[in-house]
Amino acid sequence: MGHRARRRLTWVSVAAVAGAVMGAALRFIASNSSPGTTSRAPGSQSQTIDQSVGVAYGDSSEQVLAKVGSPTMKQRTCWIYNANAHVVRGAYLGQFADGMRYCFGDGPAGGKAVSAIDVHVTPHTKLDGKWYPGGWNHAVTIMASPPASS
């Protein structure tokens, strides 16, 4: 692997990790102040957000169809789902989510398999007052915290 390829791979890796961390933090903050329909753990005030909608990396297209249904649109190797009221197939994606995307790549046993799970975040002003332009981010799962024991 040449110097340029290594540098490009390093840059892509760092950007992906930074994006995932930022996206997770943003969604956690946004989810805690989110009104409307949410999933909640029994006896807890915390919300549960499952942005994967039950789809796992490596799932086949048939498994995605069974779990999420037909996509709203297909774009190259990706299936895109609209998140009406921030929800896809009963899973709450977060206050600023308006879409879900599953991209397929070569599977380990041949065929195509889910290689990317992303959520589309709408443009908005963050709690710190900074503007977020929106875009596709890696999906995260934030589980509700257990109820405090008395």
Domain that holds residue 123: 3-142
pLDDT tens track for 12-66 = 554 555 455 455 444 444 444 333 334 433 333 456 677 888 899 999 999 999 9
Would the pTM count as exceeding 0.85? Answer: no
pLDDT bin (cut points 50, 70, 90) of residue 111 is confident
Residue 148, domain member (yes or no): no
Residue 149, domain member (yes or no): no
Q: Span 117-143, mean pLDDT?
A: 88
In DSSP terms, 116 is beta-bridged to 103
142 or 66, higher pLDDT: 66
pLDDT tens track for 58-86 = 999 999 999 999 999 999 999 999 998 99
131 or 44, higher pLDDT: 131
CB 75 within 8 A of CB 53: no
pLDDT bin (cut points 50, 70, 90) of residue 122 is very high
Residue 147, domain member (yes or no): no
Residue 57, domain member (yes or no): yes
